[in-house]
Amino acid sequence: MSANIQPRTCWLTINRACNLRCEWCYGFETSFKKEDDMPLSLAKSLVDICAGIGIKNFLLIGGEPTIHPDFIKVLDYVSSKDCKVTVVTNGVRLADNKFCDSILPFAKSLHFGISLKGSSDDYYRDHCGASVFRKVLKGVSNCVKYKLKYSLSYVVSADNVNDICLFAKDIRECGIDSPISFSFCNETIHQNGCFDEVCKDAHPLLVNQRFASHYKELDEILDGKFNLHQTYPLCMCDKDLTDTMLKKDQISTSCHVHNRSGVIFDTNGSILLCNHFIGYGIGEFGHDYFDSSSFLSYWNSEPVLRLHKKLSTMPSLECKDCTLRENCGGGCCIQWFNHTFEDYKNTYKTLNLSNN
pTM: 0.92
Could you tell me which CATH number the domain at 9-355 has?
3.20.20.70
Whether residue 63 is preceded by a cis peptide bond, meaning omega within 30 degrees of 0, is: yes
The reported pLDDT for the residue numbered 191 is: 53
Helix (H) or strand (E) holding 246: helix 239-247
Q: What is the rounded distance in angstroms from the CA atom of residue 64 to the CA atom of residue 17?
A: 6
User: What does the pLDDT read at residue 31?
Assistant: 82
CA distance 281 to 295: 15
| Eight-class DSSP state of 129 | S
174 in Cβ contact with 119 (< 8 Å): yes
Residue 2 pLDDT class (50, 70, 90 cuts):
very low
Contacts of 162 (CB under 8 A, 6+ apart): 210, 214
Q: Which among 151, 157, 87 is positioned nearest to 118, based on CA atoms?
A: 157
pLDDT tens digits along 7-63? 999 999 999 999 999 988 877 777 888 889 999 999 999 999 999 999 999 999 999
| Model pLDDT for residues 75-95, shown as the tens digit of each residue | 999 999 999 999 999 999 999
Q: Cα separation of 342 and 259, whole Å? A: 25
Round to whole Å and give the CA distance between 317 and 300. 26
The confidence band for 139, taking pLDDT boundaries of 50, 70 and 90, is very high
pLDDT at position 90 is: 97
Residues 6+ apart with CB under 8 A from 83: 47, 51, 55, 56, 57, 58, 109
Q: What is the domain partition of the chain in residue ranges?
A: 9-355
Instruction: Compute φ and ψ for 258, nearest 5 degrees.
Output: -65, -35
CB contact at 8 A, 272 and 13: yes
Cα–Cα distance, 152 to 114 (Å, whole number) = 5
Chain segment 150-173, per-residue pLDDT in tens: 999 999 988 899 999 999 999 999
Cα atoms found within 13 Å of the Cα of residue 262, Cβ hemisphere only = 18
pLDDT band of 96, cuts 50, 70, 90: very high
- If one compares 69 and 201, the residue with the highest pLDDT of the two is 69
- The yes-or-no verdict on residue 253 having pLDDT over 90 is no
Q: How confident is the model at residue 1 (pLDDT cuts 50, 70, 90)?
A: very low
For residue range 271-323, list pLDDT tens digits in order: 999 888 877 899 999 999 999 999 999 999 999 999 998 888 889 999 988 98
Coil/strand/helix, residue 287: coil
Instruction: Give the SS3 label for residue 47.
Output: helix
- Of residues 352, 334, 286, 310, the one with CA closest to residue 42: 286
User: Are the beta carbons of 91 and 97 closer than 8 angstroms?
Assistant: no
